[in-house]
Amino acid sequence: MADEMKKVEYYYATVPDKPGEAQRILAAMHQAGIDLLGFSGFPHGARKSQLDFIVKDSAAFVKAAKAANLSVSKKKSGFLIQGEDRPGAVAEVLGKLAEAGINVTSVQAVCAGSGRYGALLWVKQPDLRKAGKALGVPKSTVGTPSDIVDEASEESFPASDAPSWTPGHS
């Protein structure tokens, strides 16, 4: 079975870095009926955290965030990869991008159990369409420049202030 790769939309929020903050926000999303494709949280500066919400329905998410008094970024884009877990699965994906001369900004991959894996992957804005082509993402699902992450801005994933757990940061 081939890996499934698609463009996804996400939003981020900068919140206080304190116990229970992410749980409070995720509970509000749950109560609003929001179904997330993915979620990530990490330190972002002094006493702040960045929460990333990979969404199925942008309009519903934005409405729920507003109701929860959560200020979120503009819509951003990345890729969701899902497939059969096997040795070298992520290396294969990254190899396709390397062959196309595309640098990966960030990737997170996990074993999902039951022989499956999933990954979230980001590239710089100018490379989004080229990456989509290299990965075999249907052209119609790769966004326009207005909803693509701008890695040169403060409003991008990963955060401009890299988390302390990333290589090269203490």
From CA 18, how far away is CA 140, in angstroms rounded?
Answer: 40
Answer for the pair 9, 60: CB distance below 8 angstroms, yes or no.
no
The answer to whether the beta carbons of residues 42 and 169 sit under 8 Å apart is no
| Cα–Cα dist 60/45, whole Å | 29
The type of residue at 72 is V
Between the CA of residue 142 and those of 74, 77, 79, 157, what are the distances in Å?
17, 9, 9, 17
Determine the pLDDT at residue 2: 81
**Mean pLDDT to the nearest integer, 101-106:** 95
pLDDT-wise least confident of 53-57, 118-122, 127-131, 138-142? 138-142
The pLDDT of residue 166 is 39
- Place 164 in a pLDDT band, splitting at 50, 70 and 90: very low
Tens digits of per-residue pLDDT, 75-86? 998 999 999 999
Asked if the model's pLDDT at residue 151 lies above 80, the reply is no
The rounded percent of the chain whose pLDDT value lies above 90 is 77
Contact 141, 148 (CB under 8 A): no
How far is it, in rounded angstroms, from Cα 139 to Cα 72?
A: 27
Contact 120, 37 (CB under 8 A): no
Banded pLDDT at 141 (limits 50, 70, 90): low
- What pLDDT score does 116 carry? 97
Q: Determine the pLDDT at residue 131.
A: 96
Residue 154 confidence (pLDDT) above 80: no
- What letter would DSSP give residue 53? E
How many CB atoms are closer than 10 A to CB 153?
11
Position 32 pLDDT exceeds 50: yes
Q: Say which residues have a Cβ less than 8 Å from residue 34's Cβ, sequence separation at least 6.
A: 55, 57, 60, 61, 64
Helical segments of the chain, H only: 21-31, 58-67, 89-99, 128-135
